[in-house]
Structure 1
């Protein structure tokens, strides 16, 4: 449900077979235009009021919830048990360990596994705003990662971008598929093929 940290390698043959079955279940369609896309269509960034997702309405914004979930040796701002000012992050995308400080906030960014503009082009433009808010703040779809890796991904699907750390690529494909299934979102045919390849398909 996204309340556990990070991504772990998918190594066992039975797990990889289950991964391929999940990915094969995804519907495919062409990527539509970005017409009308705006980040605000998914609610204001890191809102705590996206009903229907874990960690919502707990008094802490989504970004800090995710830093707390995935960080180690987390330090909070004085008088707060929400605002993270320092932590150690083991980034699954690059395999590196980041000693993060809030003064250099952009060194760690929160990746939307299924990018919001990607979802817009694949059908979320027709969703009610409440469902878009859920996608934008659902911890299942959110992973704190190295900022440069997140920037290089932008709004790419798996056919165009995969994590640099090859050992995590099947797990990334599974997470992308889990989010797509949960939100009944189609993916492009090249993206589905790319995901299958990462899990031995």
Structure 2
């Protein structure tokens, strides 16, 4: 009998601990952890193991959320809104006024052979020889190339760029250190993912190191869970 009672107590403790660890996503998509005043009142919910997991699944924070600083930082990154491409300028900029915008300047700088231009002024590159850092493939037609932002613009927005001036965001979007000539298909597959979520098929260590260098140059911030994932990814691909 005493043994049975002990089992019941242990089960109750485990259940209570498990319930306390649950983050509740309400039917309206709001993520409630124990710091939310609505936590106990939320009865119909989808459970998540962490606030970060709930936000990554498309949830959002309740108004006036007062979680810990580390959780708040992660949540802010995951739930930030207001991003648009125009926040980083209206397309590729021609900052030096030479008629070559930053896309074509990247193509010129990264071509391993002589480039050809469209008839007229040397503004638009129409041929060259590029070795994709994502695969090692040789590409001659620039129409098959996207200029990848190593640190994606939306990712940067969610990790600190939202507080920058528009001029600083435009510099970031056109910074040669953050631009790579790659296959259009892979650039679109990557989207706004960081290296903890997406890596190119080749040169993964170099990619992670370059991403990290650009991120640190612009003082973009990772949440504690992201820091752990980044460290694990770097260790795995760089040894």
Give TM-score, length-normalised by structure 2. 0.63
Deviation, 1:81, is: 2.0
**Aligned pair partner of 1:33 in 79, 103, 115:** 79
| Cα distance in 1 for residues equivalent to 2:231 and 2:178 | 17
- State the superposition RMSD in angstroms: 1.6
Deviation, 1:79, is: 2.2
Q: Aligned runs of 1:1-201 on 2, under 5 Å? A: 30=74, 31-49=77-95, 56-71=96-111, 72-101=113-142, 105=143, 107-165=144-202, 168-187=203-222, 188-189=226-227, 190-200=229-239
5+ residue gaps, structure 1, are 1-28, 50-55
Runs of 4+ in 1 over 4 A off after TM superposition: none
Contact 1:94–1:149, Cα closer than 8 Å, also in 2: no
Deviation, 1:94, is: 1.1
| Cα distance in 2 for residues equivalent to 1:182 and 1:154 | 21
Give TM-score, length-normalised by structure 1. 0.74
Does the residue aligned with 1:176 lie in a helix, a strand or coil?
helix
| Cα distance in 1 for residues equivalent to 2:231 and 2:164 | 22
Deviation, 1:58, is: 4.1
- By relative contact order (CA 8 Å, sep 6+), the higher-ranking structure is 1
- TM-aligned CA distance change 1:127 to 1:192, over 3 Å: farther
Larger radius of gyration: 2
